[in-house]
């Protein structure tokens, strides 16, 4: 059709039925003028807006594939290297089940045993290392790990936990695990490279599971909701734990936390007025709470794709997707990205200034839209019939994998290469 490979019509292979005019294609003498098909689509919408044709996809989505299994929890997904994925779920026998992509194919489900009473938490502190944590029938914390060649036996780490565990690693051969205890305090157990510590009570009175984040070596920040529905915070500074501090607010959702640089934290919650509220640490002190407005019908999802940049997505009025972003100097107004979504949003960034958002649509299909660096695509349906919120992960600059539970309770997978 056209000599330049990029200008091959994305809709057909026969120039005779191509909706674009040859003379228009020849206008563009620079082969790099369009960076991807979304830029091409912008040209089409400006010059040929009356031609009705199917949407162009950015990259190619695979077909849905049934990864089998019968799930009784949401999947936990971890990647310890490019082109490597590990998924963990609880099965109908309450055991931990594992399925992984080895770079060329999916391996069969394998039972890792155990009897789980929580969804699994997974952490990786080095290539070819995985640590999984669950609550057992005795309400103790149980641990199983992959050492690069085989899975360990289950080991009991003791304790009596009343929440799912949260695991974080701030350095090689270091893991910190947090859970709520029977006294509703925060409890901690850590691996120092050679042995597990005893359980340590960090106090507090939690009414939510803890959320833990590390923005640098030997630093951990933990957030939870207290009995007053305020957000409470405690941190490890490299030598000792701080006391609990109330960050105030009245939360009606779990907090979402994002860090775009060392010693910077941004937290987002839904308030009693259903607006989005924001509080941040600037390296020396916490800001006051600020209302970013909006009317939220889901918990917020926050992502940072670069220094001094944050994007927040929520489901709002009319079950539409709404977007708000910080550009380094100010917050945008709310942007209505429309759609009709029946789940909270899941967000993934493959590289700087690229975003992909996923949600379940009104027909239970997975729907997605993407930001190409200059504009948003239209919503695109990519099929499926899902019964859970989607989980999205990217392990490379041009790869996105999405997982969800299907109507047969199996795990389903779709990816873009």
Provide the 8-state DSSP code for 44: H
Report, as an integer, the average pLDDT of 363-376.
93
Whole-number pLDDT of residue 16: 33
Distance CA(257)–CA(267), nearest Å, equals 4
User: Distance between CA 119 and CA 90 in Å, rounded?
Assistant: 7
For residue 53, pLDDT over 60 is answered with no
27 has pLDDT over 60: no
> Higher pLDDT residue, 266 or 209?
266
Q: pLDDT value at position 105?
A: 85
Contacts for 28 with CB less than 8 Å, ≥ 6 apart: 7, 34
Quickly state the pLDDT bin for 15 (edges 50, 70, 90).
very low
What phi and psi values does residue 317 have, to the nearest 5 degrees? -60, 145
- Average predicted confidence (pLDDT) for the chain: 84
pLDDT digits 0-9 by tens, 165-205:
999 998 899 999 999 999 999 999 999 999 999 999 999 99
Please give the Cα distance from 393 to 381 (Å, whole number): 18
pLDDT at 6 over 60: no
Chain-centre distance of CA 74, in angstroms? 13
Long-range contacts of residues 239-248, Cβ cutoff 8 Å, at least 24 apart: 241/202, 244/202, 244/203, 244/204, 247/223, 247/279, 247/286, 247/289, 248/279, 248/289
| Max Cα–Cα distance, the chain, nearest Å | 74
Top-ranked range on mean pLDDT: pick from 60-64, 338-342, 393-397: 338-342
CA distances from 344 to 44, 273, 302 (A): 32, 18, 12
Decide: helix, strand or coil at residue 306. strand
Quickly list H helices, 368-412.
none
Q: What is the pLDDT of residue 196?
A: 95
The mean per-residue pLDDT over the stretch 211-226 comes to 91
Say how far apart CA 368 and CA 277 lie, in whole Å.
26
Q: Cβ(103)–Cβ(83) under 8 Å?
A: yes
Query: Contacts from 145-151 at CB under 8 Å and sequence distance 24+?
Result: 151/112
CA distance 277 to 248: 11
- Residue-wise pLDDT for 268-313, tens only, equals 999 999 999 999 999 999 999 999 999 999 989 899 998 999 999 9
User: Is residue 390's pLDDT more than 60?
Assistant: yes
Q: What is the pLDDT confidence band of residue 159, given thresholds at 50, 70 and 90? A: very high
pLDDT digits (tens, 9 = 90+) for 335-354: 999 999 999 999 989 889 99
Contact of 325 with 332, CB cutoff 8 Å: yes
For residue 259, give the 3-state DSSP assignment: coil
What CA–CA distance (Å, rounded) separates 201 from 189? 9
What pLDDT, in 10s, does the model give residues 119-155?
Answer: 898 988 888 999 999 999 999 999 999 998 999 999 9
Q: Name, in order, each residue with C-beta under 8 angstroms of 16's C-beta and a sequence gap of 6 or more.
A: none
* pLDDT tens track for 241-268: 999 999 999 999 888 888 888 999 999 9
- 383: tokens are 């099929």
Give Cα separations from 6 to 31, 105, 255 (angstroms).
Answer: 8, 30, 44
- Supply the pLDDT for residue 347: 92
Whether 164 and 210 have beta carbons less than 8 Å apart is answered as no
Burial class (CB in 10 A: 0-12, 13-18, 19+), 295: middle
Complete DSSP assignment for 220-243:
EEEEEEBTTS-EEEEEE-SS-BPP
**What integer pLDDT is reported at residue 59 of this predicted model?**
60
Q: What is the pLDDT of residue 44?
A: 38
Q: How far apart are CA 222 and CA 267, in angstroms?
A: 11
Q: How far apart are CA 89 and CA 70, in angstroms?
A: 9
Per-residue pLDDT at 51 exceeds 60: no
Q: Are 249 and 286 in contact (CB under 8 A)?
A: no
Phi, psi of 22 (to 5 degrees): -55, -40
Provide the 3-class DSSP secondary structure of residue 364: coil
Positive or negative torsion for Cα 338, 339, 343, 344: negative
Mean pLDDT of 394-413: 88
Q: Which of 51-65, 153-167, 216-230, 278-292 has the lowest mean pLDDT?
A: 51-65
Element (H, E) at 45: helix 37-47
Which tokens go with 128? 């070819």
Q: In percent, how much of the chain has pLDDT > 90?
A: 58
């Amino acid at each position: 059709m056209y000599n330049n490979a990029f200008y091959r019509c994305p809709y057909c292979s026969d120039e005779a039925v191509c909706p674009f005019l040859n003379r228009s294609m020849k206008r563009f003498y620079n082969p790099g003028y369009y960076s991807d098909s979304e830029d091409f689509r912008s040209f089409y919408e400006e010059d040929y807006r009356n031609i009705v044709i199917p949407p162009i996809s950015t990259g190619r989505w695979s077909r849905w594939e049934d990864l089998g299994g019968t799930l009784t929890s949401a999947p936990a997904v971890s990647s310890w290297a490019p082109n490597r994925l590990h998924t963990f779920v609880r099965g109908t026998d309450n055991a931990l089940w594992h399925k992984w992509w080895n770079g060329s194919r999916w391996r069969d489900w394998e039972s890792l045993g155990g009897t789980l009473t929580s969804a699994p938490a997974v952490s990786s502190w080095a290539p070819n290392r995985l640590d999984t944590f669950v609550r057992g029938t005795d309400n103790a914390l149980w641990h199983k790990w992959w050492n690069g060649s085989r899975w360990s036996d289950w080991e009991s780490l003791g304790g009596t936990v009343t929440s799912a565990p949260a695991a974080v690693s701030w350095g090689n051969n270091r893991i910190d695990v947090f859970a709520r205890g029977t006294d509703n305090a925060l409890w901690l157990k850590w691996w120092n490279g050679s042995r597990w510590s005893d359980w340590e009570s960090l106090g507090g009175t939690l009414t939510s599971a803890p959320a833990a984040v590390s923005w640098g070596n030997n630093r951990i920040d933990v957030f939870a909701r207290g009995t007053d529905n305020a957000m409470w915070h405690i941190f490890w500074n490299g030598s000792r734990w701080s006391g609990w501090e109330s960050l105030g607010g009245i939360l009606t959702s779990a907090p979402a936390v994002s860090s775009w640089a060392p010693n910077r934290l941004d937290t987002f919650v839904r308030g009693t007025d259903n607006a989005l509220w924001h509080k941040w640490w600037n390296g020396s002190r916490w800001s006051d709470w600020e209302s970013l407005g909006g009317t939220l019908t889901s918990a917020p999802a926050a992502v940072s794709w670069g220094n001094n940049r944050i994007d927040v997505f929520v489901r709002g009025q009319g079950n539409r997707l709404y977007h708000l972003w910080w550009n380094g100097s100010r917050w945008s107004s709310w942007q209505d990205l429309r759609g009709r979504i029946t789940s909270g949003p899941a967000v993934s960034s493959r590289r700087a200034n690229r975003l992909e958002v996923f949600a379940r649509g009104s027909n239970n299909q997975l729907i997605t839209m993407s930001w190409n660096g200059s504009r948003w695509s239209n919503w695109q349906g990519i099929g499926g019939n899902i019964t859970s919120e989607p989980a999205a992960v990217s392990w490379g600059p041009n790869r996105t994998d999405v997982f969800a539970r299907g109507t047969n309770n199996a795990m389903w997978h779709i990816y873009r290469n």
